[in-house]
Chains A and B, each alone.
Chain A
């Protein structure tokens, strides 16, 4: 009845094929099957947002998605952001470092992947728009103000980068 199902999925540009139990969540699939530990597991029921990844380019909670549901899809995780040739951090990651958008770092992958989608859709968001976009992500360290500053900084650098 609960036979394993085949999942063919592209993660960070690389194709994987695995046979998985239907109940396996995407976040456990990424961490335990593909050994991509950058996506963190928090509440496992959709509250904290820290397992956020991009599925076909759109943010989603990988604890509220089954691995079998991404068969045929493209998944993007935090591991894809670093520049593959230079190893440099992505401008959003660098902005979180520079503006103290993290302390313990546990929630950071979720915030950053959510920010990737936000700044792609809206390169110059207002504070209100940033807050709305990040309202599904919890952080227990920063008090959020430095995260807000990090996103503002990232947005400015990305805009300047495009103009340069």
Chain B
């Protein structure tokens, strides 16, 4: 359980980091970015990942911030998750993102792990990608050609793979202004509180004249990326917030999932069942919070 040898760089600035990544890219060197290391380090220890070089972003203190920009909440990629968890601004203006943050790992993992790291790592069992799809978050990246903003729907490609180029650095995650009165929920099943979810669901909805509207649901831990449960969303749109409607929507959402992944801890069928149950509970909880 010791990592294979690698070279290590800890650039002082973002341009320096990008220059390094460009150099490794053109030399055909397998370089990996190290943020908080809470997901990468286990992969190195188990030698699932064997990069030749690590580019550690820990000195880029300018990427550690939480700011309100107009209605948008922006969080620097190197912000520790624990800082987001303990931020009154995050808790008060982005309750779903805040609740998702509390579900990530354990205290020590959230102290070291960064917000951006989870997005760039793109683990399908991670809470953030599902929340990003539900909230239409945007991801900001900087590369040799400059800066670009990527909608969450275009960011997550497949298992542990994003649309970031090898020479790009994720610098910021952006949360659009929260619509007042939106109800939200996130629930997951894990073998131990804080461990990676076997399956989970995040949801938002609003109630307008007694009917559900703007219903957004996404599941994580089941497919290669987090997925919107569109069948559930469509079925519940315009319907009354009642248990029978939540159950019908949840069943449709789970039923329309691509074959969920399967492992020794949770079969494909069990994961599909979890999504249905969690979706039903999330819809009820979100409706109870909507005003």
Where the two chains meet, the residues of A that have a C-beta atom closer than 8 Å to any C-beta of B are 1-3, 5, 21-23, 25, 28, 43-46, 49, 52, 55, 58-61, 63-66, 68-69, 71, 114, 117-118, 131-133, 135-137
| Interchain CB contact under 8 A, A64 and B37 | yes
| Interchain CB contact under 8 A, B42 and A64 | yes
| Interchain CB contact under 8 A, B41 and A63 | yes
Q: Which segment, of B2-10, B93-101, B244-252, faces chain A? A: B2-10
| Interchain CB contact under 8 A, B108 and A49 | yes
A55-B7 in contact given A1-B52, A45-B42, A66-B37 (Cβ < 8 Å): no
With A46-B109, A59-B107 given, can you name 8 additional A-B contacts, CB distance below 8 Å?
Answer: A1-B7, A2-B6, A60-B112, A61-B109, A61-B112, A63-B41, A65-B37, A114-B108
**Residue in contact with A23 in the complex, picked from B6, B37, B109, CB distance below 8 Å:** B6
**Residues of chain B in range 1-34 having any CB-CB distance to chain A below 8 Å:** 1-8, 10, 34
Check: B72 CB closer than 8 A to any chain A CB. no
Check: B268 CB closer than 8 A to any chain A CB. no
Check: B193 CB closer than 8 A to any chain A CB. yes
Task: Give A60 to B34 CA distance when docked, in angstroms.
Answer: 16
A43 to chain B, nearest CB (A): 8
| Interchain CB contact under 8 A, B108 and A132 | no
| Interchain CB contact under 8 A, B111 and A58 | yes
Interface residues on B, range: 20 to 34
| Interchain CB contact under 8 A, B42 and A117 | no
**Residues of chain B in range 173-195 having any CB-CB distance to chain A below 8 Å:** 192-194
| Interchain CB contact under 8 A, B6 and A59 | no
**Residue in contact with B4 in the complex, picked from A23, A55, A118, A132, CB distance below 8 Å:** A23
| Interchain CB contact under 8 A, A60 and B6 | no
A60-B111 in contact given A69-B58, A135-B192, A136-B106 (Cβ < 8 Å): yes
| Interchain CB contact under 8 A, A69 and B52 | no
B88 to chain A, nearest CB (A): 15
A45-B46 in contact given A22-B6, A66-B37, A69-B58 (Cβ < 8 Å): yes
Task: Give A63 to B193 CA distance when docked, in angstroms.
Answer: 20
Contact with A along B41-57 (1 / 0, CB 8 A): 11011100000111010
Task: Give A149 to B286 CA distance when docked, in angstroms.
Answer: 36
Task: Give A68 to B106 CA distance when docked, in angstroms.
Answer: 23
Task: Give A24 to B7 CA distance when docked, in angstroms.
Answer: 12
| Interchain CB contact under 8 A, A52 and B108 | yes
| Interchain CB contact under 8 A, B108 and A23 | no
Q: Which residues of B contact A43 (CB under 8 A)?
A: 1
22 A-B Cβ contacts within 8 A? A2-B6, A2-B8, A21-B5, A43-B1, A44-B1, A45-B42, A45-B46, A46-B109, A58-B112, A59-B111, A60-B108, A61-B38, A61-B112, A64-B37, A64-B109, A68-B8, A69-B58, A114-B108, A117-B107, A118-B107, A136-B106, A136-B194
Task: Give A66 to B36 CA distance when docked, in angstroms.
Answer: 10
